[in-house]
Chain A
Amino acid sequence: MRWGIFLIFALIGMSLDTALLPVLHLEIGGHIIRPSSLALLATFIGLWSPRHTTLWAAFIIGLLVDAVSPWGTLILFGPHALGYLFAAAMLLQLRSMVLRREVFAIAFLTALFSVAAGVVIVAILLVRAWTIGLDPSMNWTASGELVRRLLAGIYSGVVAVPLAWALFRTMPLWGFHATPGVRMPRR
């Protein structure tokens, strides 16, 4: 994988997630649900890259998400990075079971990826809440956050359908090489 291309796509994904995709937000049961394009990007890379690259890319994407996700008054570099890392590790176990050239397969995996990352993020924040406490300005409950992330994960999967189609068009730019057990898409 070309890391320069990865960085450009990651920055575009960050901007999409903070500036454009919120326009598609839904309000369900008092939860504001927003889709994420970065989860799709991490899933996309996870389907086509070697293990090592997949894990590092997910970790870096998680750090970028952490940078734009203040928890109250605090920026924590860690919860998303670890959440994405865990989700990428899970993805590596699943990727040989799906037809990765299928847009719907990547959309489904994006939803799974988001939910898995969300569980880890909530777990880390829960540990933080128990040990040193969260910022008092945070209006946060673990159950509410879990529900929100579950719904956001499903929604990210839905929004991933058109985005994945667009992402597949950029395949030649990425410089992916065939990895063991991975079938490359037909040209």
Chain B
Amino acid sequence: MTRRDGISFRPLFIAALLALILSLLPARYLSWTQDAAAIIQLPVVPFGHAFVKVRTWLRPGQTALPEQSPALQQLQQELEQFKTLYQATELENQRLREEIEQLTLARREGSQAAARLQYASIVGENAQSSGRTFFLNRGSRAGVQPDTVAVHNGVHLIGKVGPGVSALTSELIPLTDSAIRHVEVYLRPDATSPPNNDTPRALLKPASDGTLVGEVALDSGVAVGHVARLDDPSWPPTATALIVGFVEKLEPKPENPLRLIVSVRPRFTAEHLASVTLKVQTTGETP
């Protein structure tokens, strides 16, 4: 194991053997690797910030309509925030009414999940994943947990945090990634009134072209430009009524003429953003 020039290959052989053992160890022995990886990633963050800035400069996202003045953009932003807040509250009220009627819950921790906002920079992309997932510079130390919701401009849903959260970093799974199996939304014009039982709903699945695709009834009244807002019990309550995207296309379903295939495109996507806001769910005080 020693070469003619006296350099021994034994340390390399041992390191390779250790790497092989680590590759095949059960997950219960590898909890420390998240923290080790976070330490290794630390010196990369400054370079990552710079390169993400370059990336967003090269491929800027659609931030606002160019002809709108900044004041109008701000007003529209505020309007969207209030609509979201109002509709989220209304949906929560509906749920509460149903719960009271059915008398299934004896007590409840809070009427609506409170959220603490946490600004997180996108510092890179997981180059090895089969989909497109992104690294965030916030981890469990900042309260980030798996399934924490990521938004942009307060109301546009970008995705959620994946299951692997280390102390200092986490992984963002965008809404359009195949790892997000499906999202339940309601579709309607961008009105302030809350949804009711007649509001068309759809189960959207990520498509490969960056949209989410689902089905609605032919007579549902859904039209191009309608807003798709999340109303999915499998997502955290902090995501309720957030904007998933806008209806881009409606096509008849070939196998069923009474159904339409609806394509929803998010206005903002993680690949065009340098940062997101995380809505870290905080547990309400128990009465």
**Interface residues of A, Cβ cutoff 8 Å to B:** 11-12, 14-23, 25, 27, 30-32, 34, 36, 51-52, 55-56, 59, 63-79, 81-82, 85, 124, 127-128, 131-132, 135, 137, 139-140, 144-145, 148
* Stretch among B11-19, B186-194, B227-235, B257-265 lining the A interface: B11-19
For the complex, give the distance between the alpha carbons of A62 and B165 in Å.
22
* A18 pairs with B135, CB closer than 8 A: yes
Is B179's CB within 8 Å of the partner chain A?
yes
* B44 pairs with A18, CB closer than 8 A: yes
CB-CB < 8 A to A22: which residues of B? 55, 125, 127, 132, 271
B50 to chain A, nearest CB (A): 8
CB-CB < 8 A to B178: which residues of A? 139
For the complex, give the distance between the alpha carbons of A66 and B41 in Å.
11
Bitwise interface map of B from 92 to 135 toward A, beta carbon under 8 Å scored 1, else 0: 00000000000000000000000000000001111111111001
* A32 pairs with B130, CB closer than 8 A: yes
Q: How large is the interface on B (under 10, 10 to 19, 20 to 34, 35 or more residues)?
A: 35 or more
Query: Quick one: which of B7, B24, B58 contacts A23, CB cutoff 8 A?
Result: B58
Bitwise interface map of B from 202 to 241 toward A, beta carbon under 8 Å scored 1, else 0: 0000001000000000000000000000000000000000
A66 to chain B, nearest CB (A): 8
Is B54's CB within 8 Å of the partner chain A?
yes
Bitwise interface map of B from 17 to 58 toward A, beta carbon under 8 Å scored 1, else 0: 001111110110010011011001101100111111011001
Q: A19-B125, A72-B163, A137-B163 are in contact. Are A52 and B20 (CB under 8 A)?
A: no
Is B284's CB within 8 Å of the partner chain A?
no
Is B59's CB within 8 Å of the partner chain A?
yes
Is B171's CB within 8 Å of the partner chain A?
yes
Query: Quick one: which of A64, A70, A135, A145 contacts B130, CB cutoff 8 A?
Result: A145
* Consensus secondary structure, chain A interface: helix
B275 to chain A, nearest CB (A): 13
Q: A70-B171, A76-B30 are in contact. Are A36 and B37 (CB under 8 A)?
A: no
Q: Which residue on B lies nearest to A60, using beta carbons?
A: B15
* B47 pairs with A19, CB closer than 8 A: yes
CB-CB < 8 A to B126: which residues of A? 18, 68-70
A123 to chain B, nearest CB (A): 10
* Known pairs A19-B48, A56-B12, A59-B19 / 20 extra A-B pairs, C-beta < 8 Å: A14-B44, A16-B51, A17-B127, A18-B127, A19-B124, A22-B127, A34-B127, A52-B9, A59-B12, A67-B41, A68-B124, A68-B135, A69-B129, A70-B37, A70-B129, A74-B33, A77-B36, A85-B12, A85-B16, A139-B130
Q: Which residue on A lies nearest to B31, using beta carbons?
A: A74
Number of A-B contacts (CB under 8 A): 164
CB-CB < 8 A to A18: which residues of B? 44, 48, 123-127, 135
For the complex, give the distance between the alpha carbons of A144 and B130 in Å.
9
Q: Which residue on A lies nearest to B146, using beta carbons?
A: A73
CB-CB < 8 A to B21: which residues of A? 78
CB-CB < 8 A to A77: which residues of B? 19, 22-23, 33, 36-37
B57 to chain A, nearest CB (A): 10
For the complex, give the distance between the alpha carbons of A81 and B16 in Å.
8
For the complex, give the distance between the alpha carbons of A17 and B48 in Å.
9
* B164 pairs with A82, CB closer than 8 A: no
For the complex, give the distance between the alpha carbons of A63 and B39 in Å.
13
Q: Which residue on A lies nearest to B124, using beta carbons?
A: A18
Give the top 5 A-B pairs by smallest Cβ distance, nearest first: A18-B124, A78-B23, A15-B47, A19-B51, A69-B128
